[in-house]
Amino acid sequence: MSIGPIPEPTPETAPFWQGAAEGELRIQRCVRCESFYFYPRPFCPKCNSDEVEWKRVSGRARLSSYIINYRPSPEFESKDPQIIALVTLAEGPRLCTNIVGVEPEPDNLPLGMELQVAFEPRGDQFLPVFKPVRI
């Protein structure tokens, strides 16, 4: 189990967290313009339609940006460095997350690196994190 704050689902984010608990990455998609988007909201940020749905996505992403945090907040109760990253999902939206399964060194984190979602338990929730795709 990863150590840190436990996410608290809201009515707007419940489908996201339910998917994570089932090992699926789910984000919203506009029915009208077919755009995927993230963060959860009741309308499409592209066309303003309220015809939106939750869809399971591939979980594939590319590393867009990152920082190696050597001084985590006290609630993380760990002195291990964390890789905090911005990833671009294959479906288009960007997501702030953590990179796991790789040593926290810049040489190991080339921008554009292919990633795959994984889920770490955090209390009674599951947190989507990303790990490098090994070919």
User: What is the domain-level CATH number for residue 103?
Assistant: 2.40.50.840
Between residues 19 and 1, the one the model is more confident about? 19
List the single range of 14-28, 65-79, 84-98, 116-130 with lowest mean pLDDT.
Answer: 65-79
pTM: 0.91
- Residue 129 pairs in a beta bridge with 118
The domain containing residue 67 runs over which residues? Answer: 13-132
Half-sphere exposure of 104 (CA within 13 A, CB side): 15
Does a structural domain hold residue 99? yes
Q: Distance between CA atoms of 90 and 93, rounded to whole angstroms?
A: 8
Q: Distance between CA atoms of 129 and 117, rounded to whole angstroms?
A: 6
Alpha-helical regions (H) of 1-135: 14-21
Does a structural domain hold residue 5? no
Residue 111, pLDDT above cutoff 80: yes
Phi first, then psi: give them for residue 2, nearest 5 degrees. Answer: -75, 150
Does a structural domain hold residue 78? yes
Does a structural domain hold residue 73? yes
Average pLDDT value for residue range 29-57? 97
| Number of independent structural domains in the chain | 1
pLDDT for position 135: 57
